[in-house]
Amino acid sequence: MGVIVVTGTSTGIGQATAITLARAGHTVFAGMRNLDRDGELREIASRENLAVTIVRLDVDSDSSVDDAFNHVLREKGQIDVLVNNAGIGARGPIELMPVSVFRQVMETNFFGGLRCIKAVMPSMRERRRGCIINITSVAGQFGLSPQGAYAASKWAFEGLSECLAQELSPFNVRVAIVEPGVIATPLTTTPRPVAPPNPYSTHGRRLGAYFAASLSNPTSPFEVAKTIQDIVDGKSVKLRNPTGADGASFINWRKNKTDEEWVALGAASDDEWVADVKKNMGMDVKLP
């Protein structure tokens, strides 16, 4: 059994992953930015007597990352697996979204993961053993308006991960990417303020309708956690691992179109867009 650090564990995929890996017998250090949100995870770990230690870990902060990983290394002497899960969402047209939002999304979703990677690389390389699992998104493989900031951060993280996998391959350190589709977590289920009408409202309305249709038959974050467990246990040796009910379907939807066809979908009529979703995703989307 290994020593595993999971980031972003207060809710959702991170919490489910920490619980799943601890139930499998691993020693889990569960990082979260705000320890006031540790109640649910702490209660489950206590009730089931799981080897979960909750640590303060703000991936946006150099000092917080250094403190957390140094604490784990001092206590256990090694880190066998890093699960880079901490992330934030962002939805809105590129023209109207402030540059500050783009910076914040990149800070957490890209640089936050990079900080954690650099914290474990030296010891894994020296031991010639370890695994780094980066949670991206299906949005790491294609752009879908109005998710410019979010998709950009996930594309960047996937590019970094692929380079990292090559760099660490000679040292027997594995890198894997996990690409969830629409998963029922606070990131997707928390009601969003209704955006005022703007020139790009059609795209936001369509994306919201797709999420609503998908969440009518919700996919549990524990399904993503199972994918992560399969990687940890060596049952999956792939670099990219789509997960969730619509993860692989989303990626295939994009791959089945040329770049020009995908771009043209942004200008399609509502009826054309709904029909395309039905054909490629098998999803009945009801537009408001």
Query: Checking DSSP bridges between strand 130-135 and strand 27-32, what pairing results, if any?
Result: unpaired
The SS3 of residue 257 is coil
Residues 226 and 274: their CA atoms lie apart, in Å, by 31
Which of 229, 121, 227 has the alpha carbon at shortest distance from 173? 121
Judge whether 150 counts as a catalytic residue: yes
Candidate list 150, 157, 250, 273, residue with the active-site label: 150
Q: Are the C-beta atoms of residues 142 and 254 closer than 8 Å to each other? A: yes
| Axis-axis angle for helices 62-76, 113-127 (nearest 10) | 30
Residues 146 and 249: their CA atoms lie apart, in Å, by 19
What phi and psi values does residue 34 have, to the nearest 5 degrees?
A: -120, 110
- The residues annotated with a catalytic role in the active site are 150
